[in-house]
């Protein structure tokens, strides 16, 4: 029976068990060998291929696809891992429609790009299933590097440095490593505990010690790391969430999307996870899409994303917007929240005003508005780097609130490098974080072996 439309409705067990399993199954199942062969044969093996240029980690895409086409799957996987040790996760979470696949020449010839992401997953999953590791460590250099944060940037950096013969210690605050791969991305993009499998795969190179439960700023400080290790890499991510700057943000039912997604990712039984009947998501990025789609899949009846700008300004790609709408999520553009209205001690209604851009490109309220009733309001308006993890006088220089680095990802401190979401200019993508970690590792290696920076 439908609930009274004004009363708050938060509940577990909205669906049958099999519906949870179906809803949170793999969004893009693995290609089989024949599908991969057919898809691989669509690649033109372009010269100086645009897809390689578009890949933040510069994977030699035409080469690995040709290796798949010739049934050399091991070679294909090695081509990928050489440039991107998290090629498996990137195959799942990269917005390929705005990276490699966007520039595929097949968009012009036949209208559809080669499914590069699917092929990459075919190669990397096939290889990882063997239990082998594609690289051997170089002989030991005797140098020690501390890596803070076991997200994509930290893991990629640690792996490359270990391969180059250095001994690595990773300090991770949370109970599990993987960063947003483990706690952040939508569940249906990385099923079967893939994030942890990938961590195990990376660590299997050896030479990397992982210390979980070690937060920077909580018994661990940068100066100590700098004195105990020959170099330090910071892959700290962004620990804080942006606020709406409205009264009542601490009202029950107003939730940081990123926290809820983490809860969802760690849930053993999704039917035990409470979800509202009417959901509002505020924001326009991938996190907004991820929380909106997943609450819908948990059984929420009405899920509405409200974004203050238009389709083309939305951080989430067209593909992601389509995914949300296909799953029954309503997206309202050009509106911003102006009031959180509490009812019976919980969020009840969000009051919105419509927006438009003036001639100077500034966003203004039109004065016109509407109310949306809601059981849960998710804030997905971005994350923020928490610089208070650094003890006094120990912080590297920041720009726009994040760590400033040069092209080699070196900070203002000569023996400290950084990458991923914590750096200024960070791209908010797993693949970009992996590249940061890799680039920093190469620079650190040079610093450790030749003293050059």
Partner 1 sequence: MADLRNDFLGIKSPNPFWLASAPPTDRETNVVRAYKAGWGGVVWKTLGEEPHVVNVNGPRYGAIHSNDRQLIGFNNIELISDRPLEVNLREIKKVKREWPDRALVVSLMVPVTEESWKTIVPLVEETGADGIELNFGCPHGMSERGMGSSIGQDPEYIENIARWCKQSTSMPVIVKLTPNITDIRQPALAALKGGADGVALINTINSIIGIDLDTMSPNPNIDGQGSHGGYCGPAVKPIALNMVAEIARNADTAALPISGIGGVSTWRDAVEFMTLGAGNVQVCTAAMTYGFKIVEELIDGMSDWMDDKGYTTTDDFMGAAVKNVVDWKYLNMNYVVKAVIDQDKCIKCGRCHIVCEDTSHQAITLERNGERYFEVKDDECVGCNLCASVCPVEGCIDMVQLTGGIDPRTNQPVSTEYANWTTHSNNPNAV
In terms of CB distance, is 118 or 171 closer to partner 1? 118
Judged by beta carbon, residue 10 or residue 38, the one nearer partner 1 is 38
Provide the pairing of β-strand 376-379 with 278-282.
parallel
Closer to partner 1 at the Cβ: 104 or 286?
A: 104
User: What CA–CA distance (Å, rounded) separates 313 from 323?
Assistant: 17
75 binds partner 1 (CB under 8 A): no
Does the protein bind partner 1 through residue 37 (CB under 8 A)? yes
Question: Which phi and psi angles does 275 have, rounded to 5°?
Answer: -145, 145
Q: Which of 4, 18, 47, 407 binds partner 1 (CB under 8 A)?
A: 47
Interface segment toward partner 1; rule CB under 8 A; list 105-113, 235-243, 259-267, 395-403:
105-113
Region of 34-42, 124-132, 212-220, 367-375 interacting with partner 1 (CB under 8 A): 34-42
Q: Does 46 bind partner 1 (CB under 8 A)?
A: yes
Burial of 150 (0-12, 13-18, 19+ CB in 10 A): buried
**CB 130 → partner 1: shortest distance, Å?**
17
Instruction: Decide if residue 109 touches partner 1 (CB under 8 A).
Output: yes
Least Å distance, CB 393 to partner 1, is 46
49 counts as binding partner 1 under rule CB under 8 A: yes
List, in order, residues 6 or more apart from 170 with CB less than 8 Å away.
146, 147, 148, 149, 150, 154, 155, 158, 177, 208, 209, 210, 211
Q: Can you give the C-alpha Rg of the chain in angstroms?
A: 23
Residues in the chain: 453
Cα angle vertex 110, ends 109, 111, to 5°? Answer: 100
CA–CA separation, 448 and 453 (whole Å): 9
Among 38, 191, 311, 363, binds partner 1 (CB under 8 A): 38
* 34 binds partner 1 per the rule CB under 8 A: yes
**Cβ count within 10 A of residue 136:** 9
Residue 72 binds partner 1 (CB under 8 A): no
Q: Does 112 bind partner 1 (CB under 8 A)?
A: no
Q: Counting Cβ atoms within 10 Å, is residue 189 exposed (0-12), middle (13-18) or buried (19+)?
A: middle
Does position 108 bind partner 1 by CB under 8 A? yes
Q: Is residue 50 involved in binding partner 1 (CB under 8 A)?
A: yes
For residues 327 and 232, is the Cβ–Cβ distance under 8 A? no
Residue 44 touches partner 1, criterion: CB under 8 A: yes
Closer residue to partner 1, CB minimum distance, 42 or 404: 42
Binding part of the chain for partner 1, among 44-52, 119-127, 201-209, 291-299 by CB under 8 A, reads: 44-52
**Nearer of residues 69 and 270 to partner 1, judged by Cβ:** 69
- Strand partners of residue 210: 170
| Residue among 21, 22, 45, 247 that touches partner 1 (CB under 8 A) | 45
Instruction: Please identify which residue in 32, 48, 250, 358 interacts with partner 1, judged by CB under 8 A.
Output: 48
* DSSP code, position 7: S
- Binding span for partner 1 by CB under 8 A among 45-53, 295-303, 412-420, 444-452: 45-53
Site size for partner 1 (CB under 8 A): 17
CB of 317 to partner 1, least distance (A): 22
Give the shortest CB-418-to-partner 1 separation in angstroms: 31
Provide the token pair at 144.
């020690």
**Judging by DSSP bridges, how do beta strands 402-403 and 398-399 pair with one another?**
antiparallel
- In whole angstroms, how far apart are CA 81 and each of 54, 72, 95, 206? 17, 15, 19, 16
- Rounded least distance, CB 109 to partner 1, Å: 5
Q: Token pair of 281, please?
A: 């998501």
Tell me how far apart the alpha carbons of residues 55 and 266 are, in angstroms, rounded to a whole number.
30
40 binds partner 1 (CB under 8 A): yes
At 402, list the tokens: 């994040």
Query: Is residue 391 a contact point for partner 1 (CB under 8 A)?
Result: no
Write out the two tokens for 26: 């793999």
Give the three-class secondary structure for 357: strand
Helix (H, G, I), strand (E, B) or coil at 370: strand
Q: Which residues bind partner 1 (CB under 8 A)?
A: 34, 37-38, 40-41, 44-50, 69, 105-106, 108-109
């Amino acid at each position: 029976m439908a609930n009274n439309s004004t009363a708050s409705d938060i509940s577990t067990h909205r669906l049958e068990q099999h519906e949870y399993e179906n809803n949170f199954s793999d969004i893009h199942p693995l290609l089989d060998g024949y599908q991969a062969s057919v898809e691989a044969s669509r690649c033109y093996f372009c010269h100086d291929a645009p897809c390689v240029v578009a890949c933040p980690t510069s994977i030699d895409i035409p080469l690995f696809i040709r290796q798949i086409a010739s049934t050399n799957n091991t070679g294909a996987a090695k081509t990928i891992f050489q440039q991107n040790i998290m090629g498996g996760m990137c195959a799942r979470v990269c917005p390929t429609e705005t990276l490699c696949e966007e520039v595929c020449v097949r968009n012009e010839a036949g209208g559809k790009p080669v499914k590069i992401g699917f092929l990459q997953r075919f190669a990397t999953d096939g290889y990882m299933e063997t239990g082998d590791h594609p690289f051997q460590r170089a002989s030991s250099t005797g140098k020690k590097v501390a890596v803070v944060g076991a997200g994509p940037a930290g893991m990629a950096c640690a792996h490359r440095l270990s391969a180059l013969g250095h001994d690595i210690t990773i300090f991770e605050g949370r109970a599990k490593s993987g960063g947003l791969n483990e706690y952040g991305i939508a569940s249906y993009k990385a099923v079967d505990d893939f994030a942890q499998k990938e961590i195990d795969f990376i660590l299997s190179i050896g030479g990397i010690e992982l210390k979980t439960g070690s937060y920077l700023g909580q018994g661990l400080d940068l100066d100590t790391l700098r004195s105990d290790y020959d170099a330090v890499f910071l892959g700290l991510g962004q620990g804080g969430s942006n606020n709406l700057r409205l009264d009542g943000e601490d009202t029950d039912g107003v939730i940081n999307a990123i926290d809820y997604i983490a809860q969802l990712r760690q849930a053993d039984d999704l039917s035990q996870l409470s979800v509202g009947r009417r959901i509002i998501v505020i924001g326009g990025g991938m996190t907004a899409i991820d929380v909106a789609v997943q609450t819908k899949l948990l059984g929420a009846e009405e899920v509405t994303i409200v974004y203050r700008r238009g389709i083309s300004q939305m951080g989430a790609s067209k593909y992601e917007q389509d995914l949300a709408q296909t799953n029954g999520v309503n997206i309202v553009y050009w509106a911003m929240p102006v009031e959180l209205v509490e009812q019976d001690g919980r969020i009840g209604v969000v009051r919105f005003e419509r927006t438009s851009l003036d001639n100077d490109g500034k966003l203004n309220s039109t004065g016109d508005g509407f109310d949306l009733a809601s059981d849960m309001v998710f804030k997905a308006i971005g994350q923020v780097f928490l610089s208070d993890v650094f003890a006094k006088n120990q912080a590297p220089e920041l720009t726009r609130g994040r760590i400033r680095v040069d092209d080699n990802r070196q900070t203002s401190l000569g023996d400290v490098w950084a990458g991923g979401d914590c750096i200024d200019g960070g791209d908010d993508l797993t693949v970009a974080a992996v590249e940061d970690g890799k680039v920093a590792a190469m620079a650190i290696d040079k610093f450790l072996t030749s003293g050059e920076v």
